[in-house]
Amino acid sequence: MFDIYKLYFMQHLKIFIELTRLNKPIGFMLLFWPCSWGLAYAFYFNQNINLFIYYLALFFLGSLLMRSAGCIVNDIVDKDFDKKVKRTKKRPLASGRITVKRSLIYVVILCLLAFIILIQFNFLTILLGMSSMILAFTYPFMKRFTYWPQLFLGLTFNWGIIMAWTSINNEINFNIILLYLAAIFWTLGYDTIYGAQDMSDDEIIGLKSTSIKFKKNIKKVCNNFLFNIFNYNNFSFKILFWI
């Protein structure tokens, strides 16, 4: 009997890991890195190493939980499209290995855990964290309406830069906005490259992306996106040292 329950648990654990992409840590690290940049920038002004390490751990856990929840929401929204794309058709929801109802339960649990982490910060950071939910849960729909879903992903994935900054400094300034803008171009670059692998399937089923919009000049466009990172960061550091 124990072996049956163990097998059942292991099967569902495997599905949960696939559903949340925990087996692909690059995803939650792409959410966490901007948080660490914001914290590092704030640490330049507030030399409290204990607070820095504590908040770094909190933002890591928050990134892990919210990216996992976001992946599930994305798969719920896209499950009918995922069935038609070679790369995604074996995902748990697309392949029917888990129900939408169970997936939504996982989303609620993950968001509640993330909320417990969020309320450890000051009010401004909590407010910013709650507002990020609008970006996180509307992003999956963007590819239906615009060729710029990667821009919305950039707005969403790099929001942690501002949150990390406010968690220590309890304010928003021009410099941190510049860093946020630079990171958006970073996301535009890497996700346009990432989206190139699905271009043929996406065009057939009617989904949009910057990869499709710029498919004839994708290398040049990505270079321009990534070049803008240096422009914004250079301007930001000039202001920093001027101050």
Q: How far apart are CA 87 and CA 204, in angstroms?
A: 14
The tens digit of pLDDT for each residue in 93-142 reads 988 899 999 999 999 999 999 999 999 999 999 999 999 988 888 888 88
160 has a pLDDT exceeding 50? yes
In the prediction, which pLDDT does 212 show? Answer: 87
Q: How far apart are CA 142 and CA 213, in angstroms?
A: 14
Radius of gyration of the chain (CA): 19
The tens digit of pLDDT for each residue in 16-49 reads 999 999 999 898 999 999 999 999 999 988 889 9
The tens digit of pLDDT for each residue in 98-109 reads 999 999 999 999
Q: CB-hemisphere CA count at 13 Å for 17? A: 10
Q: Which tokens go with 84?
A: 């038609």
Q: Which tokens go with 161?
A: 């830069």
Encode burial over 111-122: b for 16+ CB neighbours within 10 A, e otherwise: bebbbebbeebe
Residues in the chain: 243
Q: What is the mean pLDDT of residues 1-18?
A: 76
Quote the pTM value: 0.87
Q: Which domains does the chain have, with CATH numbers?
A: 2-242 (1.10.357.140)
Lowest mean pLDDT among 2-11, 24-33, 180-189: 2-11
Q: How far apart are CA 200 and CA 84, in angstroms?
A: 11
HEC string of 205-243 equals HCCCCHHHHCHHHHHHHHHHHHHHHHHHHHHHHHHHHHC
